[in-house]
Amino acid sequence: MFIIIFHTVVGMRLDTTGDRIDDQTYPLTTEDLLDELGDIEIDLAKGTESVAEVIQRFGEQTFQTPQEVKHTLHAGVCERAIGRKGYSDRDPTTPGSVYGHECVSF
* DSSP codes joined into one string, 19-70: HHHHTS-SSEEHHHHHHHHTTPEEEETTEEEEHHHHHGGG-S-EESSHHHHH
Kindly report the CA angle at 69 between 19 and 31, in degrees rounded to 5? 105
- Half-sphere exposure of residue 86: CA atoms within 13 angstroms, side-chain side: 8
Report yes or no on 6 lying in a domain: no
> Over its length of 106 residues, how does the chain's per-residue pLDDT go in tens digits?
444 433 444 456 677 888 999 999 999 999 999 999 999 998 887 778 899 999 999 999 999 999 999 999 888 877 666 666 666 666 666 666 666 666 666 6
Number of domains composing the chain: 1
- Whether the ω angle into residue 27 lies within 30 degrees of 0, i.e. cis, is yes
Domain membership of residue 77 as a residue range: 12-81
Taking the model in full, what pTM does it have?
0.66
Report yes or no on 90 lying in a domain: no
pLDDT value of residue 88: 62
pLDDT value of residue 106: 64
Report yes or no on 37 lying in a domain: yes
Report yes or no on 25 lying in a domain: yes
